[in-house]
Amino acid sequence: MAYSDEVIAAAKSLYLKRHTPKEIQKKLGLNSPRIVYYWATKFEWYTQLNTEGVEDVIARRLAVLAERDHKTPEEHDELDRLIGHHVKLMSVRNKHTERMAEIARMGVDIPQPGRYGKEERGEKGAGKKERPRKTNDVSGLTAESFEPFTKKLFAYQLRLRENKFRRVRNLLKSRQIGATYYFAFEAFEDAVLTGDTQIFLSASKRQAEVFRTYIVKIAQTEFGIPIKGNPVKLSNLAELYFLATNSNTAQSNSGHLYIDEYLWIPGFRRLNEVASGMATHKHWRITYFSTPSSKTHQGYPFWVWR
C-alpha cells in the first residue's frame, strides 16, 4: 500500500518524538509497524536520533508517556523505569563531577581503570554496609545531606533556588530542561528540612504522578530511602500531595504549591482562585511554571502581570 508524503512526514515527526513503530502504526492507521522501520532506514531518520544525548532521549519519551491518557500496565512500568534511569544518570554524572573536582583540588593524575582499590572506586564490599533505611524515614537527613546535589545544579536551577523564598515564582520554560526533576527535588528537600506540606497541581492526575515518581527515585537513589504512599507522609510529618486540577480534594489542602503547565490548563481564572486559597497564609509559596501556549489563554494576562 502506498502512503502519502503527509503520512510519512507525520510518522517521522512521531518517530523523532520517541514514539515506537507500533505506537505510530496505531496512531496513523498503518498496516504494519514494519513500514515505520522501513522508512526510518530508507530516509535515515535514525541518524537524527543518534545526535541526541541519553538524557534527551529519556526526556522525549517521558514527555510522550506522561501526556498519554489510559496508560497500559506496560506503559506505567516504562514510565517508572525511565524516571529511574534519568535520576541515576544525573546521580552518576554528579558523582563523576565531584570526583574530577576533588582530583583537581588535590593536584593528582586522573585515575585510570584498575588503579584504585575497592574503597576508592566505591565498589560493593568497601567499608561498612549501611543498614537499610525505613520507609519514609528522613530523620537522618540534614541540610548538609543535600549539598552534594545542589552543587551540580544548572545555572537556571540555581537561579530558581536563589528565588525559592519569594511568595510567587512564575516560570515560562522550554520543554525538556529538567524543571520537573528540579522542582521534585526542591519540594522533597523542603519537606525534609522544614516539615512543610508540598502540593503538586497538574492538569491531570497522571501528570501529577510524574512528580511523585521523581521524588521516589531521588530519595532512593541519592539517599537510600524507600518512599511509599500517596499522598506521601514522611517521618517528620511532612506531607506531599499530587493532585489534578479537577480534584475535589485540591481545595481542602494548604501548603507550598507547584502548578505545572498552567498555560495549558482550561479555566485558569478559577484555578488561580483555588490556588490562592490553598496558599492563603503568607509563609506558603506558589510556583507557576509552564511551556508557552497562546495569548488567548486565560493565563496569558497573568504571565504578563496584567
The tens digit of pLDDT for each residue in 140-160 reads: 999 999 998 888 788 888 999
190 HSE (CA, 13 A, CB side): 22
pLDDT of the residue at 142: 96
Give the least confident one: 21-25, 108-112, 207-211: 108-112
169 — pLDDT class (breaks 50, 70, 90): very high
pLDDT for 96 beyond 60: no
Over pLDDT 90: what percentage of the chain? 36
Q: Which pLDDT belongs to residue 114?
A: 46
Reply yes or no on whether the pLDDT at 217 is more than 80.
yes
Which is more confidently placed, 227 or 17?
227
What pLDDT is stored for residue 73 in this prediction? 80
46 versus 180: the higher-pLDDT residue is 180
CATH (one of 3.40.190.10, 3.30.930.10, 3.40.50.300, 3.40.50.1970) for 143-305: 3.40.50.300
Where do the domains of the chain lie?
5-43, 143-305
Whether residue 112 has pLDDT greater than 50: no
Q: Residue 34 above 80 pLDDT? A: yes
Task: Provide the mean pLDDT of the chain.
Answer: 81
Q: What is the pLDDT of residue 137?
A: 97
How far is the C-alpha of 173 from the C-alpha of 171, rounded, in Å? 6
pLDDT at 235: 97
What pLDDT band is residue 211 in, cutting at 50, 70 and 90?
Answer: very high
Q: What average pLDDT does the segment 46-68 reach?
A: 67
Q: How confident is the model at residue 120 (pLDDT cuts 50, 70, 90)?
A: very low
Q: pLDDT tier at 100 (50, 70, 90 boundaries)?
A: very low
Identify the band that residue 61 occupies on the pLDDT scale cut at 50, 70 and 90. Answer: confident
**pLDDT given for residue 149 in this prediction:** 83
Report the percent of the chain where pLDDT is more than 70: 79
237-250 burial, b at 16+ Cβ within 10 Å, e below that, comes to ebbbbbbbbebeeb
What pLDDT score was predicted for residue 118?
44
pLDDT digit string, tens, across residues 227-253: 999 999 999 999 999 998 875 656 678
